[in-house]
Chain A
Amino acid sequence: MVAPSSLMGIRAALEKRLSGELTAAALFTSLNTRLILRTGVNLKVIRPEQNDDRETVRRVREALDAMGFALEAS
């Protein structure tokens, strides 16, 4: 499994993972809120300097892994 290496990649992978759910948008919002509170990163509004920052991407992937969302690049 190849993990996404950018925040845009993480967002795409997460959206794909949730896409089968009827309330995908609401679920993404809940998860994104938790992510913002934990990491300071908002996947809906990705700051350009954050997108490819390795430490930021690592931190977000770590938080998502901890919440049970180990993602692969889509």
Chain B
Amino acid sequence: MSFRVARSPSPDGLVTALGAQSPKLVVFFAGVAADGARFGEALEAAYPDARVIGCSTNGQFEGATPSEGAVAAAIGSELLADASVALAPLTEDVDTGVGEACAKLAADLGRPLRDLDPSKHVGLVLLEGASRREEAIHVALGNRAPLLPLVGGSAGDDIAFSKTWVYAEGRLEARASVLCILKPTGPFHVVQTCNYAPTGRQVRVTKLHPDNPSIYLELDGRPAVEVYAELTGKPSDALGFVDFAAHPLGLMIDDVPWLRSPVAAVDGGGILFACTVVEGSELSVMASRDLVADTEEAMRAAEKSLGTSVAGGLLFNCAYRKLEAEWSGATAAYHEALSRWPHVGMHTNGESYLGHLNQTLTGLLLGLP
């Protein structure tokens, strides 16, 4: 076995479906109402030599259809030479908890994370998804492993942003994140794709809320809702979630959009976004492309970048993309587009690649050595 995937509504069923093997790492995703501890414990018992990690979701998937039950991937030593795992408690200052986890990982690996070869190691993160602290977590991680590729997503809770859970080190925690350092035996590729392209129009974030940088008060010196009314052609008091979801802004880095998704209007004419930016940043107004066609193209490009056959993938899909697929009746086609290789995935409360992202599909592809 190298990359075995399975789904089941029950812990025992998941273990049965994964079958007898000795994986290095087992990753599982389950709905927030599921008993994550039982799933984790069953997998730990079945695979005592494996590191087991998991988290709650806004939905999970494996193969060409979403799964009502949990999904899991068991990854063998043919693909992974090493896997180190640590739980990072979500401490008040964030940095302390991340620091503790990084120290544990460093002790396990025998060297500081900043000394790991980024061409041979990759970080996988399952972040606490309800407290909107992802940016602080990524700053803390960047301070300790600035050159390491770090990919993953924020745990989900049916998009309530109320309480998520993660599982690692034999226990379930609500206010914590999972940090995992992998050493693949073969090539690996980080996926980062979204179905939005710049329109050519840009806006400058001229004023953020002084106490909450996720609230963009002004764009181009005007109330943010006024700018969005112009973008959507709707009165500012009629703007709803669907309007906002259709008009993310893009922080363009090397021609790749790092999307910032508007969520809701707030008092004073500002808009709450799901990611922060630095005040003064110039963002691109984005226009959507076909989700399925864009995803198919991205998957082909990812495979080509890897340069070898894909053994399997771990995928982190923004809940907004899940909703977009549902609204356009494209759920089946979307999952078909993801199904070029074995994979498990989750719909997230946010995505991660070196930082916090929105409305994006991130992931890790492992290639055959």
**A residues bordering B, Cβ < 8 Å?**
22-23, 26-27, 29-34, 36-40, 42, 44, 66-69
Report if B142 contacts A (CB, 8 A): yes
Q: Beyond the given A30-B146, A37-B354, A68-B143, could you list 13 further A-B residue pairs with CB under 8 A, ordered by the A residue number?
A: A23-B118, A23-B119, A33-B254, A34-B142, A36-B253, A37-B251, A38-B139, A38-B142, A38-B278, A40-B278, A40-B281, A66-B142, A67-B146
- B residues within 8 A CB of A37? 135, 138, 251, 258, 354-356
Contacts of B143 in A (CB 8 A): 66-68
17 interchain pairs (CB within 8 A)?
Answer: A30-B118, A30-B147, A30-B354, A33-B253, A34-B142, A34-B354, A37-B135, A37-B251, A37-B355, A37-B356, A38-B142, A38-B278, A66-B139, A66-B142, A66-B143, A67-B146, A68-B146
Contact of B197 with A by CB under 8 A: no
Task: Let me know if B355 and A30 touch, CB within 8 A.
Answer: no
Interface membership of chain B positions 136-164, coded 1 if the CB is closer than 8 angstroms to chain A and 0 otherwise: 00110011001101000000000000000
Asked whether A36 lies within 8 Å of B146 as measured between CB atoms, the reply is: no
- Which residues of B223-256 are within 8 A (CB) of A? 251, 253-254
B277 close to A (CB within 8 Å) = yes
**Interface assignment of B280: CB less than 8 Å from any CB of chain A:** yes
- Number of chain B residues whose Cβ lies closer than 8 Å to a Cβ of chain A: 23
Contact residues in B for A27 (Cβ distance below 8 Å): 118, 147
B149–A30 touching, CB < 8 Å: yes
Binding site for A on B (CB under 8 A): 114, 118-119, 135, 138-139, 142-143, 146-147, 149, 251, 253-254, 258, 277-281, 354-356
Q: Which residues of B contact A32 (CB under 8 A)?
A: 253
Q: How far is the CB of A20 from chain B (nearest CB, A)?
A: 13
> For chain B, what secondary structure do more than half of its interface residues adopt (helix, strand, loop), or is it mixed?
loop
The smallest beta-carbon distance between A26 and chain B, in angstroms, is 8
- Contact residue among B135, B138, B251, B356 (Cβ-Cβ distance under 8 Å from A36): B251
Q: How far is the CA of A67 from the CA of B254 in the complex (A)?
A: 21
How long is the Cα–Cα vector from A27 to B281 in the complex, in angstroms? 23
Q: Considering the chains assembled together, what is the distance between the CA atoms of A67 and B143 in angstroms? A: 4
Contact between chains at A67 and B119 (CB < 8 Å): no
Chain B residues within 8 Å of A23, by CB: 118-119
